[in-house]
Amino acid sequence: MKELKLMKGNEALAEAAIRSGCDAYFGYPITPQSEVLEYLSLEAEKRTGMTVLQAESEVASINMVYGAAGTGKRAMTSSSSPGISLMQEGISYIACAELPCLIANVMRGGPGLGTIQPSQGDYFQAVKGGGHGDYRMIVLAPSTVQEMVDFVRLGFDLAFKWRNPVMILADGALGQMMEKVELFEQQPRKTNIEPWATVGKPKDRERNFITSLHIQPDKMENINLHLQKKYNEITKEEIRFASSGCEDAEIILTGFGLVARICQKAAQLARAKGIKVGVFRPKTLFPFPYAEIEKLASNPKLKGILDVEMNAGQMVEDVRLAVNGKTRVEFHGRMGGIVPSPEEVLAKIEEKFVGELV
């Protein structure tokens, strides 16, 4: 049965957490995502008995997530950029201890205290590993409120499939805007006990312990090799993307999240003017769809790629790696909480490429 609702992005994400059968949420207020904690405080416990706790800081929240995730329960937190920076230590520990959990970053403009307006300035932090050491999160980039819902459930599934932290990398606009969403049915809370979880040692199994400490270098290298192997498998199996109008395109716009929708509109405007523009959107930022972008770049009809982001040029580095010199890659970015308009993206296409499109 379809359940349609008009919902704000942050509230939709919170609703999806309840419906995913999430066991525990730990968070700290920060604009523009405080509605997640507010919505869960009001709704979660009475509906599913889910734990919701306002922590004293983001440092505490992520470590509460560590504790709850270490018992094999579905645990999550959410925050926005400065708060996510505070969580980086904990995320690194979680990644090494291989704890499944969900972290949502509703990004705002930085650096520093920055602005409360939307941004995509935390791509590097999320995708390349903002904490110390060699680790990866699976990073999902929603571009609609519907995906704010869908990626919560998907995020938990991937987190448990791979015993890895998953981040939903959204932005302030997605968090605040209202759209129609289709909600999935309530999923049961988790009752099975993971074999690795710390829930109290029965007589008939060895003790379980959760740690990220392996002081012998050979052991720590093996842990690293194991993690890298896992990340390679994730790369093989979990790449997700969307593309439209790329087959006959002379220009391809790349962008993630909200920006991909702006690109979509810009592509329409361009096609109305007779410029064949396509849009390619990675849904997973890690793993990144390098091979798919390389394939598009190999199309002889293609004049180039314009990558658009709400930052100074972060994902564009991965686009360039993927393209590997096969076509020209231009970049257009806005920062500090400014959202680019479809018209300005179109103007960029014309400025950078149209002279060559005869």
Partner 1 sequence: MNEKTMLGENIAETADTQEVICCPENLVYEKPDTLLDTPMHYCPGCGHAVTHKLIAEVIHEMDIQSETIGIAPVGCAVFAYNYLNIDMQEAAHGRASAVATGVKRVFPEKFVFSYQGDGDLAAIGTAETIHTCNRGENILIIFINNAIYGMTGGQMAPTTLPGMKSTTSPFGRDVATMGNPLMITNLVASLPGVYYATRVAVNSPSNVRKAKKAIAKGFEYQKLKKGLCFVEVVSNCPSNWKMTPIQANKWLEENMFPYYPLGDLKVPNDKEK
| Burial (Cβ within 10 Å: 0-12, 13-18, ≥19) of residue 224 | middle
Binding of residue 227 to partner 1 (CB under 8 A)? no
Nearer to partner 1, 14 or 349 (CB): 14
* Size of site (CB under 8 A) for partner 1: 39
Q: Which residue in 47, 128, 132, 201 binds partner 1 (CB under 8 A)?
A: 201
Task: For residue 327, give the DSSP letter.
Answer: S
Of 63, 144, 264, 327, which lies in the binding site for partner 1, with binding defined by CB under 8 A? Answer: 63
267: which residues sit within 8 A by CB, 6+ positions away? 244, 245, 253, 277, 278, 279
Among 31, 41, 53, 294, binds partner 1 (CB under 8 A): 53
Applying the rule CB under 8 A, the residues between 90 and 119 that interact with partner 1 are 90, 93, 97
Q: Token pair 């969403």 is at which residue?
A: 181
| φ and ψ of 3, to 5 deg | -120, 110
Query: How many CB atoms lie under 10 A from the CB of residue 349?
Result: 28
CB 325 within 8 A of CB 279: no
**What mask, x for binding partner 1 by CB under 8 A, covers residues 72 to 91?**
-x-x-------------xx-
Does residue number 187 form part of the binding site for partner 1 (CB under 8 A)?
A: no
Least Å from the CB of residue 36 to partner 1: 17
φ and ψ at residue 5, rounded to 5 degrees: -145, 155
272: three-class secondary structure by DSSP: helix
Contacts of 134 (CB under 8 A, 6+ apart): 224, 227, 228
- 212 or 235, CB closer to partner 1? 212
Contact 155, 102 (CB under 8 A): yes
Among residues 87 and 310, whose Cβ is nearest to partner 1?
Answer: 87
Least distance to partner 1 from the beta carbon of 356, Å? 53
Among 1, 188, 191, 203, binds partner 1 (CB under 8 A): 203
DSSP assignment, residue 242? E
Q: How far is the CB of 316 from partner 1 (least distance, A)?
A: 33
Beta bridge partners of 8: 178
Angle at 357 between CA 353 and CA 358, to 5 degrees: 150
Residue 191 is a binding residue for partner 1 (CB under 8 A) = no
Question: Rounded to an integer, what distance in angstroms lies between the CA atom of residue 199 and that of residue 123?
Answer: 35
Which of the stretches 52-60, 147-155, 258-266, 323-331 binds partner 1 when contact is defined by CB under 8 A? 52-60
* Part in contact with partner 1 (CB under 8 A); list of ranges 149-157, 194-202, 293-301, 316-324: 194-202
In the region spanning residues 14 to 43, those forming contacts with partner 1, defined by CB under 8 A, are 23-24, 26
Pairing assessment for the beta strands 51-54 and 251-254 based on DSSP bridges: unpaired
The residue (of 87 and 305) whose beta carbon lies closer to partner 1 is: 87
**Which stretch, 153-161, 207-215, 237-245, 338-346, contacts partner 1 (CB under 8 A)?**
207-215
Contact 105, 79 (CB under 8 A): yes
| Binding footprint of partner 1 on the chain (CB under 8 A) | 23-24, 26, 51, 53, 55-57, 59-61, 63-71, 73, 75, 89-90, 93, 97, 198-203, 207-213
